[in-house]
Amino acid sequence: MSVKLTTRKVGDVTVIDAAGRITLGEGATSFRDAVRDLAAKGDKKLLLNLSDVSYIDSSGIGEMVSGFTTVTNHGGQLKLLGLSKRVKDLLQITKLYTVFEVFDDEPSAVRSFA
Amino acid sequence: MPENQSGEIQKVDTLLDSTLDSVDTAENQVLRVAEEIGFPEDDLHQIGMAVRETMVNAVVHGNRYNARKKVHLTVSGARNHLTIVIRDEGEGFEREMIPDPLAEENLLKQSGRGLLLIQAFVDEFEIRRRQPKGTEVRMVKYLEPLLKK
């Protein structure tokens, strides 16, 4: 199974709910396109919910970083929500914990954009 | 199959096409052996990830999807460890040429984290150029790393 992405609004925050695998190929490409489209549309407060993501590889991590850069360059913010232990480990290993703001619960994440 | 001096029995010896489907094939074959040895769930995840990253390097960066080039996978199992060797037929590369993905100036680069993850997930990791061309990656994962000696 590749990644399934759905978006919803919570106030002025766009939450991207991701489910499945963000890996080289279709998964990483879908993710890249979704973030770029939202950034181009002018959405500046993006919260990526990874609660239902079972697997991310280095390409998926690369796309998350690329998405972060794209959104930042558009004057917005991309934050992360609901990381599994395995995904947290990946962010630790790659030192990306120092780049991304990470939240365990959605209300706190949404409030952080205010 | 015969045991070698390390008590390993070769379980897989196969040539794979230079396609992304081979990444799944290799992962499945390696995990089957790892499960036989009795690796726990978290280790299986790490082994699978190390294999996938190495296979992607071999197919994408090594063989560059060339249909005439193959990826050679061998997997050997022993009572307390698993050895995986993945060889491609690409041009090879100098490891020193790969930027450190943990350096501040590289943190926001899109690529270059594969080797870092592989090394994090296995207990032994060795990469070398093959003659006349190609790259060989050898990885070992121990069932109980502290007891490996």
Residue A35, pLDDT score: 92
**Best mutation site among B27, B49, B122 for testing chain A: the one with the most A CBs within 10 Å?**
B49
Average pLDDT on A79-105 reads 96
Average pLDDT on B56-73 reads 96
Q: Please give, rounded to a whole number of angstroms, the shortest distance from the CA of B31 to a CA of chain A.
A: 16
Q: Which domains does chain A have, with CATH numbers?
A: 4-104 (3.30.750.24)
Q: What digits encode the pLDDT tens for the residues A17-26?
A: 999 989 887 7
Q: Please give, rounded to a whole number of angstroms, the shortest distance from the CA of A62 to a CA of chain B.
A: 4
- List residues bridging with A56 in a β-sheet: A22
Instruction: Report the share of chain B in percent with pLDDT over 70.
Output: 93
Residue B144, pLDDT score: 80
Q: What band does B83 get if pLDDT is binned at 50, 70 and 90? A: very high
HEC letters along chain A: CCCEEEEEEECCEEEEEEEEEECCCHHHHHHHHHHHHHHHHCCCEEEEEEEEEEEECHHHHHHHHHHHHHHHHCCCEEEEECCCHHHHHHHHHCCHHHCCCEECCHHHHHHHCC
Distance CA A13, CA A47 (A): 7
User: Residue A61: which of B56, B102, B113 has the nearest Cβ?
Assistant: B113
Q: Which domains does chain B have, with CATH numbers?
A: 9-147 (3.30.565.10)
Average pLDDT on A52-80 reads 94
pTM: 0.90
Average pLDDT on B77-102 reads 92
Could you tell me if B12 lies within 8 Å of chain A, comparing CB atoms? no
CB atoms within 10 A of CB B100: 10
- What value does the mean pLDDT of chain A take? 93
Distance CA A91, CA A26 (A): 22
Residue A2, pLDDT score: 82
- What value does the mean pLDDT of chain B take? 92
- Chain A CB contacts of B23 under 8 Å are 24
Q: What digits encode the pLDDT tens for the residues B17-36?
A: 999 999 999 999 999 999 99
Instruction: Report the share of chain A in percent with pLDDT over 90.
Output: 83
